[in-house]
Chain A
Amino acid sequence: MTNLRNRYFLPLGIFVLMLLDGAISHVFSPLLYHGQVAIIIRLMLLGFVLAVYALPQEKWLIWYALLIGILYDSFFTGVIGIYAFILPMVVYLLKVVQPYLPNAFWSLSLVYVIVAAVFEICVYAANTMIGLTTVALSTFMVDVLAPTLILNLVIFFILAVPLTRLLVRIEVEE
């Protein structure tokens, strides 16, 4: 625990994932945003879900979620409070439920899909409430939520194992 570099590795890593979300969304925007279809990249959320599973003793995770949420809000939208509330909320709920769930890979993939769906629905609801978007609920479900979950599940299958190994290595070094 005395090693400061390891202490900062986790929040820094998730911060980089957040910036990657923005960069990927911009570079691949002709593919991701097509007419009403909008696919949201969520490497940041993947980082948090894997961290809850790989580092269950990490007490600071909710505070990291709060910090990353504030930075996300401030940098990408300028309206602070949406991600700053929903991200720690989702991480907290997952942390409460996690001990009761089996630790198998397939169970984790299912949990990730549910967490991602809850997360997107909350964000959409918050944006609709304050009038930042006027996309209809049916459009959101079909054109945003469904493709987003599919793509993020694919990303999960590719990145889950290497990212978990990386996280476990930090834990061992601590």
Chain B
Amino acid sequence: MQKFFSNKKLIVLLIAVIVAISMIAVTLGVRNRRESPSLVQQFGNDMVGFADRVIAVPANGLQKGTESFSNLFNTYEENEKLKKQLDQLAQTKVTAQTLRTENKELKKQLKLNDTLTDYTQISAAVLSRSPDNWQNQVVINKGSVSGVAKNMPVMSGSGLIGRVVEVNKSNSKVELISTTNKNSDKFAAEVTTKDGKRVNGIISGYDANSKELIMSQLNTNKGIKKGDKVTTSGLGGRTPKGLFIGTVQTIKKDDYGLASSIYLKPATDLNNFTVVTVIHREMGGQ
């Protein structure tokens, strides 16, 4: 064990540490700033992505199999519940359609082409998830070839789940909103209260214990009630207006009693999804 820390090895170790730290600094900078990583890295990620498909496809198939098995047991209960909702749905659908056509005509009259609420969708499947959950990242199977770009919001089911942080040619990485990353971009959100007023704020964090999102920096907390719906406000970045985030659970004052923050129940389970939708806002951003 005497040669454990010989001079030569110490120098090698030192060089390795320096190289590692500078690589971290460079790649972290790329991740925070530029649109996509270097071509070599992109190529490597695409190759690994192709290999990963061989493993991910049967794995996802297995998951679907077990899911449908457990669904079989819940079917009756779910059916009863859904029947009740179905009666209202038809009416809502017709109203939505009428409003949509009316909206389109009014926009035409005003000569508005794209507004903050217009977006197109790109469907993608989740390939794999970063095993150490430090950044809460998943890898999806669509990249820049399919039109995915950095900072696009990502939905699953009925709610927002995260944002694209890195784009390769054929796969990209999505950071979930439950992340504890300090440097991640925050979503601008708004609460629509019962009397139709709008309250702006940002989604600032995630409470892992209660599984609730935290919305803070509100301009007011008047009129916000439990059960109010929270959506994206479309202010800043590449996020359109009106993506569903969650419903208000509790309203808490901070330690000084000045500002208050809202705790939201996310619209989808952030730990259980296989198919996601990347949202592309029609109106340019950034």
Residue B55 is within 8 A (CB to CB) of chain A in the complex: yes
B interface footprint on A125-169 (CB within 8 Å = 1, 0 otherwise): 011001111110000000010000000000000000000000000
Residue B271 is within 8 A (CB to CB) of chain A in the complex: yes
**How far is A15 from B200 in the complex, measured between Cα atoms in Å?**
47
- A77 touching B135 in the complex, CB below 8 Å, given contacts A24-B59, A84-B20: yes
Contact A135 B59 (CB under 8 A): no
Point out the residue from A15, A34, A77, A96 that lies within 8 Å of B137, measured CB to CB. A77
A interface footprint on B129-160 (CB within 8 Å = 1, 0 otherwise): 11111110111000000000000000000000
Contact B182 A124 (CB under 8 A): no
Contact B131 A76 (CB under 8 A): yes
The segment from B37-45, B85-93, B103-111 found at the interface with A is B37-45
Count of chain B residues with Cβ under 8 Å from any Cβ of A? 53
The segment from B23-31, B72-80, B227-235, B247-255 found at the interface with A is B23-31
Q: Which of A51-91 contact B (CB under 8 A)?
A: 70-71, 73-82, 84-85, 88-89
Point out the residue from A23, A120, A127, A132 that lies within 8 Å of B59, measured CB to CB. A23
Tell me, rounded to whole Å, the shortest Cβ–Cβ distance linking A91 to chain B.
Answer: 13
B4: chain A residues at CB < 8 Å are 96
Residue B265 is within 8 A (CB to CB) of chain A in the complex: no
**How far is A124 from B131 in the complex, measured between Cα atoms in Å?**
13
Q: Which of A21, A131, A133 has the most CB of B within 10 A?
A: A133
B37: chain A residues at CB < 8 Å are 74, 78
Contact B137 A85 (CB under 8 A): no
A25: chain B residues at CB < 8 Å are 128-131, 133
Residue B188 is within 8 A (CB to CB) of chain A in the complex: no
Tell me, rounded to whole Å, the shortest Cβ–Cβ distance linking B187 to chain A.
Answer: 18
In the complex, what residue of chain A is closest to B205 when comparing beta carbons? A134
Residue B272 is within 8 A (CB to CB) of chain A in the complex: yes
Q: Which of B134, B135, B181 has the most CB of A within 10 A?
A: B134
Contact A35 B28 (CB under 8 A): no
**How far is A36 from B207 in the complex, measured between Cα atoms in Å?**
9
B21: chain A residues at CB < 8 Å are 81
In the complex, what residue of chain A is closest to B178 when comparing beta carbons? A33
Residue A20 is within 8 A (CB to CB) of chain B in the complex: yes
Point out the residue from B24, B139, B209 that lies within 8 Å of A79, measured CB to CB. B24
In the complex, what residue of chain B is closest to A136 when comparing beta carbons? B180
A interface footprint on B42-61 (CB within 8 Å = 1, 0 otherwise): 00110011011001100110
Tell me, rounded to whole Å, the shortest Cβ–Cβ distance linking B14 to chain A.
Answer: 12
- A130 touching B129 in the complex, CB below 8 Å, given contacts A22-B52, A34-B271, A74-B44: no
**How far is A33 from B130 in the complex, measured between Cα atoms in Å?**
12
Known pairs A36-B208, A81-B20 / 5 extra A-B pairs, C-beta < 8 Å:
A19-B48, A73-B27, A124-B134, A133-B180, A135-B134
**A-B contacts, 6 listed (Cβ < 8 Å):** A21-B131, A22-B129, A25-B131, A73-B27, A79-B28, A132-B135
